[in-house]
Structure 1
Amino acid sequence: MALPPAFLDELRARTPLPGLIGRKTRLVKSGRNWKGCCPFHGEKTPSFYVYDDHFHCFGCGAHGDAITFLMRAEGASFPEAVERLAAEAGMEVPRPSAEQAARERRARDLHAVMAAAAEAYHRRLFLPEGRPALDYLLRRGLKEETIRAFQLGWAPSGRGAIAADLRGEGVSEEQLIEAGLLRPGEAGDPPRDFFYARVMFPIRDRRGRVIAFGGRILGDGQPKYVNSPETPLFRKRMGLYGLDLAREGAFRGAQVVAVEGYMDVIALHQAGFTGAVAPLGTALTAEQLEELWRISPEPCLCFDGDAAGARAAARAAEVALPLISTERTLRFATLPAGEDPDTLTARRGPAAFQAVLDGARPMAEALYGLIAEGRPSATPEQRAALRNRLTGAAWAITDKALAAEYRRVLLDRFFAAFRGGRGGPAAPRRIARPAIAEPATRAERARMLLAILLRHPWLLPQVEEAVGLLDLPDGPPAQLRAAILAWHGGAERVDSEGLIAHLARCGLEDAVAWALAPAGLPLAARAEALPGEVEEGFWHFFLRLRGEADLIEDQQEARRILAETNDPAAQRRLILLTEALEAIRRGEAAAASGDAA
């Protein structure tokens, strides 16, 4: 008995072709694909190409998928090849049963029913009864050849139309109900059409088979769009409109881009953007993202430039974060306000949409704005909440190395946005920022602070944000600060030996030696320092590195908090700030070791 097509599709999707074929011949990257010498005929110049779901040799014509390759390369029979690939993919080969055979027959029959229905709806579009629908599509800027390529159609308003159209082909009412083309009757009433008085959009699977329909009402009635109900062929969260055509477009080098609606997809294909797809009337799902990644490692998600578009982009990012890896990610594009791809290409031409794609941002760059946009950040509590959301987003990524990189990027943006302690991006200061120390003195203070962190990284959770706020000198100070914060983002164990070993592996051994040079190191930078001494020493050098203008604002904020809370910690912070300001104004050149205690 034949195996279920869904099982074979999943088996092919779970079998990376470059890895399988690379066991037999050496492959090298060629753009988004791979190439090598054909394993089936002797050649010295590579003409054998491996794509996402098939291989092709331009020398001998060999062509096929993972199953075909194993059969040709090792002489395996079809069942043997399937068994071996399934074992490697962790799948169980379905065993024959009478029930399964019946399901397969019904599925094959339903594909034929859906194909016949698509033809019937398409035929009616060009009859007099379909003229209003055809005129609507032409007014929307579609050419007749585009209408025929997408097999758009018309479901008339009369009852029983689809049953009458398909009766001559031997299609029963039971099949029409199972295919989602008829609604079952209630209380003894006969079945009635699921779609009527709507422009019809056939929805195809990745192999080009019609599995469902979307129907749009003419005029302003509601609901504007209706999709087929879920059937043995169709699950809304699994498919994408235009997927079969986008696979072909991506194969020929087109950018894969997900937009909102069916008309957007059709208009973009007509304008030459043949990698366009759309979700089926819902927000993007994890399954739909997996489909996108099957045809492109970095598809672009294109959203409207309004608040609803921003919310949709944020939801898509939330779904995607646990799924991204170093091999697959996303880009985010935003349309001009009030435009969608359909209207944009119609009014301003393909170049306008190409500019939108050219301006798409990588996910790591877009994510900060998606999380921070519109969120209050005027108070320390609000900024802490935003920071928690940023780190939470990063840790949603399954690949922990990648998660650490995202965390570093997001917190770098956070620290830059709130440098100076304000509730938004740093603005020009009213108070001039004089040079608070000679460069050598400033570098020495940075060395003391970094030495404390190197010996006592347990302090990082408390002071990470403060360290990010500092303007440190270029060279070893800035390099060490960046590497320490990045390490802390992904470290499983926070200890001095692990941190120093990590920095050595990063090529910063000399910078560590500079920071830990014994001359002048304060008590707080010694391994035996008590926790209170460590904290006091860190804040001593932090305050002397912060700068007079920043310290004045910090002092004002500390006075306000002390007046409101009468908290001893706030009082101690105000004392330290006042001492630091006085030290700067007296022109003290450096901090002695004992000052930190």
Structure 2
Amino acid sequence: MLTPQWLDQLRSRITLSTLIGRSTRLQKAGREYKACCPFHNEKSPSFTVNDEKGFYHCFGCGAHGDAIRWMTDHQGLAFMDAVKELAAEAGMDVPAPDPRAARAAEKRDTLHDVMAAAQEWFVHNLAAPEGEAARAYLATRGFDGHTMQRFGFGYAPEGRQALKEALSRFPEPMLIEAGLRIAVEDRDPYDRFRGRLMLPIEDARGRVIAFGGRILAKTKTDAPKYLNSPDTPLFDKGRTLYNLHRAAPAARQSGRMVVVEGYMDVIALAAAGIAECVAPLGTALTENQIELLWRHVEMPILCFDGDAAGQRAAMRAITRALPLLRPAHSLRIVRLPEGLDPDDLIKARGAKAMEELLGEAQSLIDVLWEFERDAHPLATPEDKAGLKARLMEHVDSIQHPDIASLYRRELQDRYSAFAFPRRENRWEGGNRQSFQPRQRGGKWQPGRPAPTPSSPESLERLRKAMAGGSRDALSNAVLAGLIRWPGQIHRHAEALARTSELDPRFSTLLECSDATDVLESDALATILSANGLEVPGTAEYSGLRFGFLAPDADAQQAAAELSQAIDLLVERPVLEAALARATARFENELSEESFAEQQRLLKRKLEFDSRLRQMANRHAS
């Protein structure tokens, strides 16, 4: 049996660039290789191969995969043939098949025969006189003959035993196991699908594994409008996306994948020329389905109705996606106009309107913020505190430490701007000076002192504090952390490169990361000293008691906290530069706008210092 662990070991023993380089000309580009994509025609390289991460990716057509995927998609091998060829190259023995798994596979193949026969029968019924009502319904939807044939529409007649009689060559237990018949106690089994327009549900290879049926008779008010097959040895609805085998090739061309709520929406969009659409099958989007989408595109677009039910569906998907988020992989969300599904929108406004909506898809964090902000009244401090608690609860569910840190910062900024809006600095009477700008120019009238947020002396103190030892202490603490946990240097290479102008020691650490596969703390300290660079001592960051510097620090927690500290280190010079520019502008203009900008940045600076103190003293005894 091929376990996930065995397959991971196989992938780790294959150098992907060597494998792909046999048929595609690769060019070294930093830590990666690049080439013109072998999956589509292009003039400039957008195809990359990353040996460290073990995958290839094309930014043009979206082709993505590992060594096994390369052998199946590019070389045209079946999965097991690809595994055997790679195993031979890696010097690994393919595990002997489990007899029980072999018997299960044989049963699945037999069930595939049952499903293929059922599909053939349903299609035949649609063309027969008894399929007139189903054909009339399809005519109202505007589906042409090509669409009907492409998606395999069929019809299940009313009789409770019709399918059993048509598929009499298969034994009753097989029909039940395939989900086509229902067995109940004290009664004869009967057909699951009766009086319904039928649609086949296919796997990634285009084989029928289940069915969906839409009721046609309006008199059956107690029957569900849509009915899907139950889970069977062939069909797991939580791991299946309708139309994926058609949408995946289209997605490689367009670079996007659209997820709609039902299979009739998929077909309506495909008929309008938007072919890269899939749908879950009667359930909210599952974790397995999200991972399945990410195998094809990094940012699938989820399309939901604009009503309250659609918003709740979007939040269910977001809640399931948050723990899974990883760099460059997320979701985008589109909300349709209320009362319209994709088919209605296309009929009313045309395919262009749908394309425009897809082009305006919101990010996951935007939808999360708007949903929680609008979920409850926010009239009292307690209400606002509840909003912050809900937002941070979502952040806490994110497993990736860098993404969690960025979400926390972004949502806290949005919350602060919402909960503490900037107040106008204008007073009437009393002992306070009035802020009275001129009608033109926005400057204070002569003879009226401006409400100075900082005197020249305090502004100078601010500049000295910004350029002083607190930043050096943070740099020294991060450097000490990287020396102690050298495996984190490569992970934060991009962020650390931005700090090199502030401290050349970071450049040296990055060069060490490029030069060798294994970094050791003692070696890094020696290299810094040999280059005339000072190794940070504890006295240089004694005021910052970060957890990743504690003697008993846990590696996983240390990695998360070091990531947060690096975020602070990168953010600080950007914030300080913005504040310095705003201060200079305020001193030159004395305008209301420049005053407000400086106050906003001063507040951000205070919040930054507070975050730094909280983090640095989290482990103080």
Shorter-normalised TM-score: what interval?
A: 0.5 to 0.7
**Number of the residue aligned with 1:200:** 198
CA distance in 2, matches of 1:218, 1:121: 15
Which of 7, 15, 28 is residue 34 of structure 2 equivalent to?
A: 28
Counterpart secondary structure, 1:28: strand
Change (3 A) 1:160 1:294: same
Deviation at 1:361, TM superposition (A): 1.3
Aligned pairs for 1:45-444 (under 5 A) are 51-52=64-65, 54-55=69-70, 62-64=75-77, 75-76=88-89, 83=94, 93=95, 95-97=97-99, 99-167=100-168, 170-187=169-186, 189-220=187-218, 221=221, 222-253=223-254, 255-420=256-421, 435-437=450-452, 441=456, 443-444=459-460
Secondary structure in 1 aligned to 2:324?
A: coil
1:89-132 Cα distance to aligned partner (Å, 9 max, x none)? xxxx57432x4333222111001111111111111111110111
Partner Cα separation in structure 1 for residue 210 and residue 81 of structure 2: 30
Is the 1:306–1:337 Cα contact (8 Å) retained in structure 2? yes
SS in 2 for 1:301: strand
Distance 1:127 1:268 in 2: 27
Change (3 A) 1:150 1:500: closer
AA in 2 matched with 1:322: P
The verdict on how the C-alpha distance between 1:508 and 1:118 changes in structure 2, with shifts beyond 3 A counting, is same
- Give the structure-2-normalised TM-score: 0.63
Q: Secondary structure at the match of 1:159?
A: coil
Evaluate the alpha carbon distance shift between residue 512 and residue 9 of structure 1 in structure 2; reply closer, same or farther with a 3 A threshold. closer
RMSD of equivalent CA atoms = 4.2
Output aligned runs, 1:433-512, within 5 Å: 435-437=450-452, 441=456, 443-444=459-460, 492=547, 502=566, 506=570
Kindly tell me: are residues 252 and 197 of structure 1, through their superposed partners in 2, closer, same or farther at Cα, counting changes over 3 Å? same
What whole-Å deviation, never above 9, does each CA across 1:463-521 have from its counterpart, x for those lacking one?
xxxxxxxxxxxxxxxx9xxxxxxxxxxx75699x9999858953957998999xxxxxx
- Residue by residue, what CA displacement relative to the aligned partner does 1:45-65 show, whole Å, maximum 9, x if unpaired? xxxx9743743799xx84447
Specify the alignment match of 1:558 in structure 2.
none
How far the C-alpha of 1:34 sits from its partner, in A, is 3.1
The farther-off stretch of 446-455 and 196-205 is 446-455
Corresponding residue for 2:609?
none
Shift of 1:352: 0.8
Secondary structure, counterpart of 1:248 in structure 2: helix
Question: How many angstroms does 1:134 deviate by?
Answer: 1.2
What is the distance in 1 between the residues matched to 2:115 and 2:334? 35
Q: Secondary structure at the match of 1:55?
A: helix
Determine if contact 2:242/2:278 at 8 Å carries over to the other structure. yes
For residues 157 and 501 of structure 1, what CA distance do their matches in structure 2 show?
Answer: 67
Find the aligned partners of 1:262 and 1:10 in 2 and give their Cα distance.
35
Q: What is the alpha-carbon distance in structure 1 between the residues aligned to residue 155 and residue 5 of structure 2? A: 34
Alignment partners' CA distance in 1, 2:574 and 2:150: 65
Percent of aligned pairs with the same amino acid: 35
1:427 is displaced (CA, Å) by 8.0
Q: Per the alignment, in what secondary structure is the counterpart of residue 209 of structure 2?
A: strand
Q: 1:510 to 1:240 in 2, by over 3 A?
A: closer
Q: Secondary structure at the match of 1:372?
A: helix
Amino acid at match of 1:181: L
CA contact (8 A) 1:20 1:66 kept: no
Within 1, Cα distance between the matches of 2:123 and 2:205? Answer: 20
CA deviation string 1:388-434 (max 9, x = no partner):
221221221111011101111111111122233xxxxx687875866
Is the alpha carbon distance of 1:66 and 1:154 closer, same or farther for their aligned partners in structure 2, counting shifts above 3 Å? closer
Instruction: Decide whether the 8 Å contact of 2:193 with 2:213 is kept in 1.
Output: yes
Question: Distance in 1 between the 2:172 and 2:578 partners?
Answer: 83
Cα gap change, 1:163/1:498 in structure 2, threshold over 3 Å: closer, same or farther? closer
5+ residue gaps in structure 2?
27-32, 40-45, 50-61, 428-433, 437-449, 475-501, 503-545, 551-560, 580-597, 604-621
Residues 15 and 81 of structure 1: CA distance in aligned 2, closer, same or farther (over 3 Å) = closer
Counterpart in the other structure of 1:423: none
Deviation at 1:219, TM superposition (A): 4.7
Distance 1:356 1:157, change over 3 A: same
For residues 297-351 of structure 1, give each alpha carbon's deviation from its aligned partner in whole angstroms, at most 9, with x where no partner exists: 1101111111111111111110000001003111111111211111111222110
Normalised by the size of structure 1, how large is the TM-score?
A: 0.65
- Are residues 502 and 258 of structure 1, via their aligned partners in 2, closer, same or farther at CA, if it must alter by over 3 Å? closer
Query: Which is worse superposed, 289-298 or 498-507?
Result: 498-507
CA contact (8 A) 1:341 1:353 kept: yes
- Paired AA for residue 34 in structure 2: V
Pick closer, same or farther for the CA change 1:184–1:390 going to 2, 3 Å. Answer: same
Cα 1:358/1:507, change in 2 over 3 Å: closer
* Structure 1 residues 108 and 71: CA distance shift in structure 2, 3 A: closer
User: What is aligned with 1:531?
Assistant: none
Residue 214 of structure 1 aligns to a residue whose secondary structure is strand
Question: Relative to 1, partners in 2 of residues 1:305 and 1:404: Cα closer, same or farther, differing over 3 Å?
Answer: same
Decide whether the 8 Å contact of 2:259 with 2:300 is kept in 1. Answer: yes
Which amino acid counterpart does residue 22 of structure 1 have in structure 2?
S
Write out per-residue CA displacement over residues 528-578 of structure 1, whole angstroms, 9 at most, x where no aligned residue: xxxxxxxxxxxxxxxxx979xx9xxxxxxxxxxxxxxxxxxxxxxxxxxxx
State the SS of the aligned residue for 2:420. coil
Q: Against the structure 1 CA distance between its residues 511 and 198, is the aligned structure 2 distance closer, same or farther, given a 3 Å change threshold?
A: closer
Q: Which amino acid in 1 is paired with 2:102? A: A
Hey, what's the Cα distance between the residues in 1 that align with 2:563 and 2:6?
A: 43
User: Cα–Cα, structure 1 residues 299 and 456, in superposed 2: closer, same or farther, change >3 Å?
Assistant: same
